Every structure is written in structure tokens, then in C-alpha cells.
């Protein structure tokens, strides 16, 4: 009985400190590479007693999950309406162009925005395809003429797996470059000031008192040398 009581006290203390319990993280981009994957793996290694779950889906569904209390934190590419949520920038990642093997751009180590002005693009309709489309329109439009961009109803993975046989390019974030496809290479995009970057931000509710969420936020803050405050509910 004494041993059981000690275990109960230890478990209660661990849960209160965020070292046990559960954490549900949502995201709208791939985790095959980049900071998202590295962060999740490092968190799980250091917090093995926290039941970690994640889901990749569109931002509307994730924000609805925050409202319903089903998602503890959403880490989203780009910006989203965040009335009622905390939003903090977490990290930036490089943007890459996915190039079919027969395209001359594969011979370059880096690709500049100006190299892409005459190219045609294929993007997924789902997140983050529309954000990337808007970025391409802003970067590549010439004399009011937007670039040739087609949005596909298929997944990001299907777009990339079929790209090698066509004459279109795609644009992905660094988190998508961990998966390799035949006849397809990734090249980082550069602008006038160096690598093209996109920001990832965390969204959560301040009234979410889940201890593992607070511990996860402290982990993010320390890992990326950030200074946002973590309010208690």
C-alpha cells in the first residue's frame, strides 16, 4: 500500500510538471525533414512518458480543433487569423523548388527567383499549396501577368511523385525534402538577400492548462532561443 501510494504521488507530480499526460500537436506541412521533424523527435526522446499525438491537416480544421479543445497547439506554415489564440513565431525554413530531372535547373546548386519566371508550376490544392501559390504570384508576376500555376486536387506526395514525367515544377518547404522521388531533385531558392525563407508559428489557447503543453512551449522557447512568455491559465 505504501509503495502504491508513493507511485501515485510520483505520477501526480509528474503529470503536474508536464512529464506525463498527453499532448496533441497539429500541423499543416510535412515532417519528413527540417525543424518540425527534429523538434518532435527531440521532444519525444526527452519526454518519453508523455503520450504524444500529431495530425497533419488544413489550418481550418486545426483551428477548429483548438476551439474545441481537441488540439493543444497548431504549428502552421504562413499566417492565419488568430483572434482568440496566442500566436508566436517559432522558426524559419528554406523554400525549395522541386525540379524534374530533365530540366536544366538541376545543373545548379541554387536557383534564384529570376530563374523561375518562365517556368510552369503544379501545387496541391490542400495546405500549404494556396500559400505557396500566393508567394509565387508575388515573386514572379511580370507586368501584371501572373505565373502559370495549376492547383491539383491530389496530395502533395502525388504531385511530387508524378512531377518527373512532366514539364512543370513545384515549390515545397524544407520539411518536404526528406522524401525522394525518381527523376526529381530539390534546389534551394535564393532571392536578393540570400535563401528564401518561410515562417512557422505556433497557435494555442492561453486558457489551455494542460501541463505537457506548457512544458512543450518551454522546450520550443529554449531550443530556438525565443523570449515569448508562457502564461498560466
Would you say residue 125 has pLDDT above 60? yes
The pLDDT value given to residue 6: 41
Place 144 in a pLDDT band, splitting at 50, 70 and 90: confident
Rounded to the nearest 10 degrees, what angle do helices 34-46 and 211-223 cross at?
120
Q: Collapse the DSSP code of 175 into the 3-class scheme (helix H, G, I; strand E, B; otherwise coil) and give the result.
A: helix
> Per CATH, which fold does 2-91+201-223 belong to?
D-Maltodextrin-Binding Protein; domain 2 (3.40.190)
The pLDDT value given to residue 19: 61
Q: Which residues, 6 or more positions from 159, have their beta carbon under 8 angstroms from its beta carbon? A: 122, 123, 124, 152, 170
Cell triple for 162 = 508524378
Report which of 121, 117, 127, 110 is spatially closest to residue 75, judged by C-alpha positions: 127
Place 13 in a pLDDT band, splitting at 50, 70 and 90: very low
The pLDDT value given to residue 143: 72
What is the per-residue pLDDT across 19-76, written as a single tens digit (0 to 9) for each? Answer: 679 999 999 999 999 999 999 999 999 999 999 999 999 999 999 999 999 999 999 9
**Domain ranges in the chain?**
2-91+201-223, 92-197
As assigned by CATH, the class of the 92-197 domain is: alpha beta
> Between 9 and 188, where is the model more confident?
188
Distance CA 64, CA 136 (A): 28
Would you say residue 123 has pLDDT above 80? yes
What is the per-residue pLDDT across 149-207, written as a single tens digit (0 to 9) for each? Answer: 999 999 999 999 999 888 999 999 999 999 999 999 999 999 999 999 999 999 999 99
| Burial of residue 167, with CB atoms counted within 10 A of its CB: 0-12 exposed, 13-18 middle, 19 or more buried | exposed
Would you say residue 7 has pLDDT above 60? no
User: For the residues 104-111, what does the mean pLDDT come to?
Assistant: 96
Q: Which residues, 6 or more positions from 164, have their beta carbon under 8 angstroms from its beta carbon? A: 100, 101, 181, 182, 183, 184
The pLDDT value given to residue 84: 81
Distance CA 187, CA 5 (A): 58
Place 232 in a pLDDT band, splitting at 50, 70 and 90: low
Q: Identical fold at 2-91+201-223 and 92-197?
A: yes
Amino acid at each position: 500500500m505504501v509503495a502504491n501510494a508513493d507511485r501515485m504521488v510520483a505520477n501526480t507530480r509528474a503529470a503536474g510538471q508536464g512529464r506525463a499526460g498527453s499532448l496533441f500537436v497539429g500541423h499543416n506541412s510535412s515532417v519528413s525533414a527540417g525543424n518540425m521533424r527534429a523538434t518532435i523527435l527531440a521532444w519525444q526522446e526527452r519526454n518519453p512518458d508523455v503520450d504524444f499525438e500529431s495530425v497533419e491537416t488544413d489550418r481550418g480544421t486545426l483551428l477548429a480543433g483548438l476551439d474545441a479543445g481537441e488540439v493543444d497547439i497548431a504549428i502552421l506554415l504562413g499566417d492565419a487569423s488568430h483572434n482568440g489564440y496566442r500566436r508566436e513565431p517559432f522558426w524559419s525554413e528554406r523554400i525549395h523548388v522541386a525540379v524534374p530531372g530533365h530540366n536544366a535547373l538541376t545543373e545548379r546548386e541554387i536557383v534564384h527567383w529570376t530563374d523561375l519566371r518562365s517556368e510552369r508550376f503544379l501545387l496541391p490544392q490542400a495546405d500549404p499549396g494556396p500559400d505557396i501559390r500566393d508567394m509565387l504570384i508575388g515573386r514572379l508576376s511580370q507586368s501584371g501577368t501572373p505565373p502559370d500555376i495549376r492547383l491539383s486536387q491530389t496530395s502533395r506526395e502525388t504531385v511530387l511523385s508524378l512531377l518527373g514525367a512532366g514539364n512543370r515544377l513545384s515549390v515545397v518547404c524544407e520539411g518536404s525534402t526528406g522524401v525522394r522521388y525518381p527523376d526529381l531533385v530539390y534546389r534551394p531558392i535564393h532571392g536578393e538577400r540570400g535563401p528564401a525563407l518561410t515562417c512557422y508559428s505556433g497557435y494555442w489557447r492561453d486558457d489551455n492548462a494542460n501541463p505537457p503543453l506548457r512544458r512543450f512551449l518551454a522546450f520550443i522557447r529554449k531550443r530556438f532561443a525565443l523570449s515569448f512568455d508562457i502564461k498560466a491559465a
